Amino acid sequence: MKKEEEIEIVAELDSIDSPDNTVGKPLTIEPGKERHIVRNIFIILFTLAFLGAAGYVGWLLLKPLDPAPADTSPNSSTKPTTAELTAAAIIAELTPKMVGDVKTVLPNGADNPAKSYSAPVYKPTGYDFSVTATKESGFASYGANDVAKKDLAQIESTLESHDLVKTVLDPGSDIGIYASRFESDTIVCSVNDQKPYTADYRYSAVVGCADKSSYLSNAKALNPYYIVYAAESGNNTSQVAMGDPVLKASKTDGYSTMTIGISGSEYGTVGGFAGLFYKTPDDKIHFFRGTQSQIPCTDFNTPDIKKAYLGESCYEENNEAATVKL
């Protein structure tokens, strides 16, 4: 190629309309510059390819991860996760696993229904006594002896699968009641069997659970009474459980009474005896006594006690029925 020779490149510049360029006018490139043009075109193409690859990599890095596939195994919808584990969730998981006849009230309590189960008493952190729960879940599964044994084993294995720690309270026997307690950081449960006293009565496996948070309100309400009981009763209070309080207004203005079931155990149930308390007009709480039966009238022996229990039943020395008088 001669130095003076020009390379003619004809471009159809359909999109360019300017005084310097006319459609179909030859576009000339000075000799020696064709290599620069080819190099520049290569650089542009390489840059575009690099940017495209970098963008794709960035998209992969920022793309959200696909969610884990849902658990479609049997009973997956009823088994609670650790985060949502509650007493009610455990009972909901257990119920369909039972072989026996599941009931939440006693079979013979149609006229006066009573629960067929109860959660254990529990001592919340920061308190020196155990209380009952304000909310509990559970059931009793009734059936033949082998059915009750199978359901009892299923209950305990399920509780242990959720990392509740087992403590055997009574190993039981052919006629005695087996009892165990299960506990985690947030839940406490009681498990026992009931053996029939007559041939036509069925065996049962019983479970009752409660969230530990459901014990706090009772503990807070009963703490003033426990403090008075520990100070005034003279009883050993190293292991005390207090049940649901029953408040009653006295017939004397400014006075009231409180009856609380009390037992000397921090694991079982409450109700070893009735603890009798009364409150005077100055809003102070006093412990009267514990009882398992009716009280002789002579025990109502101070003006405040008589005012607090005015009109309540008692018995005279000759065992005749009477009421408390001022």
Q: Give buried/exposed letters for 222-243 (b at 16+ CB in 10 A, else e).
A: bbebbebbbeebeeebeebbbb
Q: Can you tell me the distance from the alpha carbon of 194 to that of 317, in angstroms, rounded to the nearest whole number?
A: 41
Low-confidence ranges of the chain (pLDDT < 70): 1-84, 108-112, 174-175, 197-201, 266-271
Q: Can you tell me the distance from the alpha carbon of 168 to that of 229, in angstroms, rounded to the nearest whole number?
A: 30
pLDDT tens, 161-201?
999 999 999 888 766 789 999 999 999 999 999 887 555 56
Beta strand segments in the chain, E: 7-10, 26-29, 101-103, 130-131, 137-143, 165-170, 179-183, 187-194, 203-211, 241-242, 246-249, 256-263, 273-279, 285-291, 313-315, 321-323
Q: What separation, in Å, do the N-terminal and C-terminal C-alpha atoms of the chain show? A: 138
What pLDDT does 119 receive?
Answer: 95
What pLDDT does 35 receive?
Answer: 54
Q: Can you tell me the distance from the alpha carbon of 285 to that of 256, in angstroms, rounded to the nearest whole number?
A: 9
Q: Can you tell me the distance from the alpha carbon of 193 to that of 177, in angstroms, rounded to the nearest whole number?
A: 6
Classify 115 as helix, strand or coil: strand
Q: Beta strand 321-323 with 313-315: parallel, antiparallel or unpaired? A: antiparallel
Q: Which two tokens stand for residue 55?
A: 């963008």
Q: Can you tell me the distance from the alpha carbon of 301 to that of 90, in angstroms, rounded to the nearest whole number?
A: 51
What pLDDT does 268 receive?
Answer: 60
**Domain definitions of the chain by residue range:** 7-62, 87-215, 233-323
Are 168 and 159 spatial neighbours (Cβ–Cβ below 8 Å)?
no
Q: Can you tell me the distance from the alpha carbon of 188 to that of 17, in angstroms, rounded to the nearest whole number?
A: 87
What pLDDT does 239 receive?
Answer: 87
Q: Can you tell me the distance from the alpha carbon of 220 to that of 70, in angstroms, rounded to the nearest whole number?
A: 43
What pLDDT does 49 receive?
Answer: 52
pLDDT tens, 80-111?
555 569 999 999 999 999 999 999 988 765 56
* Number of residues in the chain: 326
What pLDDT does 114 receive?
Answer: 84
Dihedral, CA of residue 50, residue 54, residue 60 and residue 63, to nearest 10:
-130
Between the CA of residue 319 and those of 297, 299, 322, what are the distances in Å? 10, 14, 9
What pLDDT does 194 receive?
Answer: 84
What phi and psi, each to the nearest 5 degrees, are found at residue 274?
-90, 120
Q: Which two tokens stand for residue 102?
A: 């599941």
pTM for this prediction: 0.70
